[in-house]
Each structure stands twice: as structure tokens, then as C-alpha cells.
Structure 1
Amino acid sequence: MGGGERYIDVAERRARLALRHRLTAAARAATPEEVAASLVALHGTDPATVYLAVGARLADPARTVRETGRALYEDRALVRMHGMRHTVFVFPTDLTAVVHASTGLTVAARERAALLKHMATAGAPDAAWLKEVEESALAALARRGQATAAELAKDEPRLREQFVYAAGKRYEGVHTVSTRLLKVLGVEGRVVRGRPLGSWTSSQFRWAVAPAHPELDPAEAQAALLRRWLTACGPATEADLKWWTGWRVTEVRRALSAIGAQTVSLDEGVGHVVDGDTDPVTGPTEPWAALLPGLDPTAMGWQQRDWYLAPELRSALFDGSGNVGPTVWWNGRVVGGWAQRPDGEIVWRILDTDGVGRQARAAIAVEAERLRGWVGATRVTPRFRTPLEKELAS
């Protein structure tokens, strides 16, 4: 990895974040596709996060629900699938092959082996039987276009069969073949989540056959994914990269070398940027505020977050598993959190008052009203609730 050890300070990192993550008024996007391309991936574990993350970055947020639905379910320009760290994300369709080869193959092999082991332990049918069921289910899904597990079970009744998982243990449970098999097929990149049964906040999805994509060399795919992410989120430390990708440190280092990443100096130590990205980046000309949802890809983008989030704020803004809740931003740092009350009002609280004066509060109020304007009558409750969000929403 070549390049000089240029120092990139916190102010410049925040400037890069503001512009590249489309968080200032001047940098906002025209379409959800542009937002997803700028962020590489939108967290999809909570369906509402996808829309809220897009809406925060669109020049015309009134188009959020319609245009995001179009991109996901009509044009298929965006695809919801498993990705890094075995987490559900929404990716640009042109990245699906890269994500599958770089992060999905290893997880997929592990998931299928676990399913077969659990079925065998429970005395369920063998791998040959499961192969027949999955081929039949995939054929049914291709005929239907999109379908729920219950709908597929009408075509392939064996999907309804159940087996006991972890018999005799405190976490014993009964698993349905359809639930486990569709999850495995999703991780393998053979099916993806389709249109939800309810509104844009619904977590009940239909399934669809995954778009065809070429099989890539895993090492080349890892290099391609790392280049995309560093372009959007660099500089980042090796620890950041290992955490975001879920790869082994040897894989991270190999990918960094493959793309010729340059090293820079950060307050945390050695950082990495894509080749040629060491020129100084000046900040936005105007101060900016943003209200980002729980699990937003900007708030969750790095393992080491002190440069944009004070450690003392974490207990209020994160749940016990490390999931970030809704956050309020001012000029590149998290200063508080927000929530939606039952009557639809968007409420917020500043936790870090340093430099947050009248101008900041006025700008945050504008963003809160902007958010309420496009969310309308929909009530959004984060899937992973945090202490401040629960308090504000009550």
C-alpha cells in the first residue's frame, strides 16, 4: 500500500461524511438509487430504516415512499438480501454478485450445514429430501413471481413440515422447514425478499427468485466491495473495515493491497483511503442538520465512532446489542436523538450542547418538520428501541 502519511483530522472526516453521504441540502440526491450508491448499503433489518435513510437524503422527500418502492419492487434497481455480518441490507443491484461472492458464500455454507445438522438431530428427512423440496419450492416461486412462505406451501406441502430444534434445552423450539430453508436460500443468493404484505414499515415479506448474477472470484469480489466502501466512507481503520465486512483480518489486508489503498494518519492511528483520495476535502459552505433513523448506515458505518459520536451519549442512543437508535446530527456529529409520538409529532432532545445554539436548534426543527411532512399518518416504531427513543416516544 503506497502513499504518504497525510493527517486527516476530525473536521475533514466530518466534511467527507457530510458530502459523500448526502447529508447537506446541496448534496441531497434525486433518487433512492443515488442514495444507495452513495452509501453502498442501506441497513434492511428494520424495513422502515431503508425508507427513513433514503428520505433524509432526498432533495424531494415527498417522493420517498413511492420512489423507494419503485426501485425495490418494480425496477429491481435495489435488492434486499443478506450481506456483511449476516445482516439484511438493501444493495444496488449491480453489487449483488460482489456481495454474494465476497461475504455470502462462507455464511451460506455454514447455514446449510447447520440446517442439515439440526434436521438430522431431530430425526427429520435427509439432504436428498431437502433438495427435492427446495427445487420444488424454487420452481413454484418462479411460476408465482412473488409469494409468501404460506403461499409456497400450497404448491409444495412439505414446506409445512416441522422439526424440533435443540430438544431438551432451555431454548428448544419447533422450526418449520419453510422458515429455515428460505433463510438458507436467501443467504445463498437464490431468493430475495420481495414486496411486503403491508405498508413500507411492514416486516412481513414475500419472496422472489434472486436476479441472475455472475459467479465472481471471492478475493476479487472482496477487493471490489472494499473499494466501493472506502470511496464512500474512507478514511477508515483496519478495525473499522474488519467490523463492517465481517471478514478475517487477513482478508481485509489482502483486499487493501489488491486495490492499492493508501495509508493516512488518523487520531485513532493508521487509516486507509482508496488510491488518489488523499487530497484535502473542505467542508460544506453552510451548517447542516439531519435526523437519521435507527440503524442508519452513516451512524453504524464505523466501529470506532468517537470522531462523530461522544462516548457518553452511547448509553442513551444504543440498545444493549449495539444497535443505534434515531439520531440528531449537527455539522457532522451526533448531538442527540429523536422519536415519533403516537400522534405523529417528531420530538427530539439535544444531549451534547457544545456548539448547539439557536441556529442549530432552528435547523434541527426544520428537519423534524421535513420528516413529519413526508411520513404523514404512518407511525414508525424502531425495531430496536433505545432508552432515549422510548422516553421521547412515551
Structure 2
Amino acid sequence: MSSLPLISTAERRRRLGRRHRLAPSARAASVPEVADAVIGLHATDASTVFLSARARLSEGGPGTVERALYEDVSLVRLLSMRRTLFAVSTELAPYVDSSTARAIAAKERRNFLKRLAEDGHGLDADWLAGAESATLDALDSHGPSTGSQLSAAVPVLRRKVTVERGGKYEAQVGVATHVIRLLAADGRIRRDRPRGSWTSSQYRWVHTEPWPAVPPAEARAELARRWLRSYGPATEADLKWWTGWTLTDVRKALAAVGPDTVRLDDGTTALVSPGDTGPEPEQEPWAALLPALDPSAMGWADRGFHLDPAHRPALFDYAGNIGPTVWWNGRIVGGWAQRADGEFVHRLLGDPGGEAERAIAAEADRLAAWVGEARITPRMRTPLERELAVG
């Protein structure tokens, strides 16, 4: 094992700064370039896509991200890794779709058909196909529409079904959300510009064509190859956690890539892209304020190289979602929040030094200028974010 190349913790942090486009000299010129650098931007929270892109773009405001999502459509949202919504480049989308999203879409469909059968009112796959067809026809007729607008235009979407029949949580729920979710998971509709500002989650929907088919094994190998380049050194367990694939699929994908093995500072081993064992170029010191669920904080199951375990209780919610974070040279050193009056505040968890404090304050000012009059409240709120937000 001693003959294996060593990649130190400091080296891993340098890789993160350059490859994740967080160091100022490494910032990207376009939104798809940002997304590809980290494979995809978490999109469960509407503002995360924008704020993750902001931290990595050399120039441009919220309108730059909106153009990529809704005009150029060079960035699209897919229900994919870990059944989580990601925004990925259209160049990568077919690989994400075939490697991950197709299986999720099929499972979502099976679960909903089971729910329809349990309702006992004769709703089945044929009924669902008719509801989906009527929804697509409505989008073709009316153009971009919200879920409520589609429900108004398509009577079958106003249907309700009983869930948890006979159980403690029995309830009547509408089918519209489920039908729209299935169409989106299948790539037959996509999210368009929301009602309201870029922080809104009231999306309109548009009819679109499914992604070109890629053999799933080929797609998984391509995703694993890109992930290793962005997140290596990393482990088999990290890739399994990040993708949500089975262990068998993870191992087959890695075998197709043929990664190299390296040593880490703690004596364990990890994987990198073939030949990717050399030193990372030196870079300038850098600070970043990243949003909740940012990929650089969520890319590994084991984040010990950039996160002090003592800081987890303040920065994570009960479900394991990380909140807004403050970074200095590749490690998390604090958290931030925006208050109701628009003020951005942060707290450092330790003393990173005067240079770090000045750089972080400057980055906070850059964030405030970029956000302008918008208000950011993470969907997944963490103890430190809540505390800072109320003052």
C-alpha cells in the first residue's frame, strides 16, 4: 500500500477549489460549465441552483441562470441521483436520464398505479395514460401552465384518490401532482419559468421530448467517470451514496472506468480517474458562501476532509441536509443566513484567521449585491441558519 500515490487532505481541498470552480481564478464563463464541473446542481430548493451557480460564475446575475434554464434550455432539471432533483447540462442529461432517472421514473409509476388500485375506483394504467395524454394536449393548447392551471383545464386532474385507506393517515389527495410528477420524470414535460421571482417554486410546465436513449451501463460508466474527475479521491461507498445505485451497478460502472487507487492522509485508500494522481496546481486563497444542499458539501458520504464533525449539529437538519455554509480554502468554517430585512449574516465556527475573515466578508458583500432585493429562506432549515436568521 505504501507504494500507492498519496493525495493529502490539503491536496483534496485544492482540487475542490479548482475543479468545483470556487477559487476566483477557476470561475466558469457559463452556467452549463458550472453544472458540469460538479456534475449537477441540487435543485430541490429553487434558490440553490442560482446561488450555487453564482458562487462559481465569473460574471452574470440571476438573469444569466434564468436564460440557461428557460431560454437557451442549456440547463434542465431531472429527478435523478438519490431521487433528488438536479439541474444538469443538456449535454449530460441523456446520461443522467439513462443511468438514474429512468429507473426512478419506473418505480414512481409502479407506486402510483398501486395507489390507484388500492383506491378501489377502477383507475388503472389506461386511465393514467388518458390523464397524461389530456395533460400534454392542454399544454400544447394553452402553452406553459402551472399545476393549478392544468387542473382547471383538464377535468381528470381534479380527481381525488384515497391513500392509506383504513389506516391512521387515511386521506383524500388530488392526482394532479402525481400525474405531473410522472410526466416530468419520464421527460415528457419540463419545468419552465416560475410565477414570481427566481426564488419561486411555482413552476409553469411545458411539453417536451424525452431524452435520447443511452444504454444504461454506458450511461452509468460515463457518470462515474465524470464524478471521479470532479470528486476524486472518493470511495465506492461515496459513489453509491451520491448516485443511489445498487452496489452491483456501482462496481460495474467503476470497473468500466478503471480508476487508480491512491492513499489518503489517514492511511485509507480511495479512487481517482485513471492517471489523475498528480498534484493540483497551486491557487490563490479563496472564500465562498454556498447555499443549502450545494454539491460541494453534498458530494461524498464521508466529508471529513472538508468538514469538522463537531460542526455537523449546527449545519445539518434532522434528515442529513446541509444548510448554507461558509468556506475557506476548501473547508467549511461556518454558516450564513439572510434576515427578513435583507441583511446577510454569517458565523464562523472557530478562528480561521484575519485573512479568512476579510475574504469571507468580501464574499458576503458580493453575495448580497448579487441577490439584491430577493429573499432567501432555505427549504431545509438547519439550527445555525434558523438562529442567524432571527438575529
TM-score range, shorter chain: over 0.9
Q: CA deviation at 1:211?
A: 4.2
How big is each residue's C-alpha offset from its partner over 1:236-264, in whole Å with a ceiling of 9 and x where there is no partner?
A: 11111000010111111110111122121
Change (3 A) 1:256 1:138: same
Q: 1:268 to 1:106 in 2, by over 3 A?
A: farther
Q: Residue 388 of structure 1 aligns with which residue?
A: 384
Aligned match of 1:84: 81
Q: Deviations over 1:103-143 (max 9, x none)?
A: 12222221111111111111232221111111221232234
Q: For residue 362 of structure 1, what is the aligned residue in structure 2?
A: 358
- Percent pairwise identity: 52
User: Structure 2 residue aligned with 1:259, among 233, 257, 280?
Assistant: 257
Aligned partner (choices 366, 373, 377) of residue 373 of structure 2: 377
1:271-290 aligned at under 5 Å gives the runs 271-284=270-283, 286-290=284-288
Secondary structure of the residue that 1:146 maps to in structure 2?
coil
Matches within 5 A, 1:85-124: 85-124=82-121
Give the aligned length: 386
Match in the other structure for 2:61:
64
Q: Which residue is equivalent to 2:324?
A: 326
**Aligned positions of 1:56-205 closer than 5 A:** 56-60=55-59, 63-124=60-121, 125-205=123-203
Label 1:138 to 1:258 Cα distance change in 2 as closer, same or farther (>3 A): same
2:295 corresponds in structure 1 to 297
Residue by residue over 1:173-194, the C-alpha shift from the partner in whole angstroms, topping out at 9 and shown as x without a partner, is 3221211111122222222222
| More displaced stretch, 20-29 vs 169-178 | 169-178
CA distance in 1, matches of 2:73, 2:156: 30
Equivalent in the alignment of 1:26: 25
Q: What is the CA–CA distance in structure 2 between the aligned matches of 1:325 and 1:85, rounded to whole Å? A: 18
Gaps of 5+ in 2: none
Provide TM-score, normalisation by structure 1. Answer: 0.95
CA distance in structure 2 between the aligned counterparts of 1:252 and 1:210, rounded to whole angstroms: 30
- Matches of 2:134 and 2:210 in 1, distance apart? 19
Query: Unmatched 5+ residue regions in structure 1?
Result: none
1:12, 1:283 within 8 Å by CA — same for their partners in 2? no
- Using the alignment, how far apart are the partners of 2:208 and 2:241 within structure 1? 27
Separation (CA, whole Å) in 2 of partners of 1:116 and 1:279: 51
Q: SS where residue 56 of structure 1 aligns?
A: helix
Structure 1 segments of 4+ aligned residues over 6 angstroms from their partners: none
- Give secondary structure in 2 for the equivalent of 1:298: helix
Of 213, 216, 226, 1:215 maps to 213
| SS, match of residue 344 in structure 1 | coil
Is the counterpart of residue 349 in structure 1 residue 365 in structure 2? no
Counterpart AA for 1:374: W
> Matches of 2:148 and 2:330 in 1, distance apart?
45
Secondary structure at the counterpart of residue 296 of structure 2: coil
Contact 1:201/1:380 (<8 A) preserved: yes
Q: Which moved more, 1:40-49 or 1:151-160?
A: 151-160
Q: Is the 8 A contact 2:32 2:88 kept in 1?
A: no
Preserved CA contact (<8 Å) 1:78 1:90: yes
Distance 1:350 1:146, change over 3 A: same
Q: CA deviation at 1:268?
A: 6.7
Between 74-83 and 4-13, report the one with greater CA deviation: 4-13
User: Does the CA-based 8 Å contact 1:162-1:174 persist in structure 2?
Assistant: yes
Q: Check 1:59–1:337 CA distance in 2 against 1; reply closer, same or farther (3 A cut).
A: same
